[in-house]
Amino acid sequence: MTPLEESIGYKFRNSLLLAEALTHPSLGHETQRYHFDYQRLEFLGDAVLQLVITEYLFRNFRVEAEGQLTKLRSRLVSRDALKTHAAALDLGRYILMGRGEEASGGRERTSTLADTFEALIGALYLDGGLEVAKSFILAQTRGDLEKLAEEPVDINPKGDLQELLQNISPRSPIYELVSQSGPEHEKTFVSQVVWEGIVLGQGRGRSKKQAETAAALEALNSRRWEKKF
């Protein structure tokens, strides 16, 4: 396995796909002869990335409207976000590019790193199928996805729940820690939200805040208060 394959935990059956994903267009321009580059794989990888992230948001953010989901997806697939993922894999060092492009800082350029990351996704999709590409995407974006659960853009489940309930009663919902388990560095918290004696929802997360957010999301989804009021 190449060092990059070891980093991503996948061995390509067709090594030419990996080579294509790591070839910058400047190489062909500089040699003035035909040479494959990552542009077509980038096109494919972008579509696969959008699909995987869209499905994840659809399944895990169940009460958000289309516009909110679109904003969340835009945050996850932005050029800067993709550059960060590429940099974490040190993709810049593996890219084949013309000497002029390299001299002008091409290995650190945001567009180049983001495009190469998408091209790598496209190559993984063609070589191993959707599940391989999906596993790679979710592994690389895990940190962003966890942060999104705690601090969603334009989404405030706890605030939205409180606003809904205050239209019925002046009492605010209370969040209770139900349990915590696991080693100190990798704890799992379970919290529930209670209002007017009703357990409206329960959620789990890697922090108390994330667990409370998940509980509020479940409450908004189940709307158990409607059975009493």
Q: Provide the annotated active-site residues.
A: 46, 118
The tokens for 135 are 């596993």
Determine phi and psi for 219, rounding to 5 degrees: -60, -45
Distance CA 214, CA 229 (A): 23
> Order of strands, edge to edge, in the sheet holding 188-195?
174-181, 188-195, 198-205
Instruction: Write the CB contacts of 103 (distance below 8 Å, at least 6 apart in sequence).
Output: none
Distance CA 53, CA 76 (A): 8
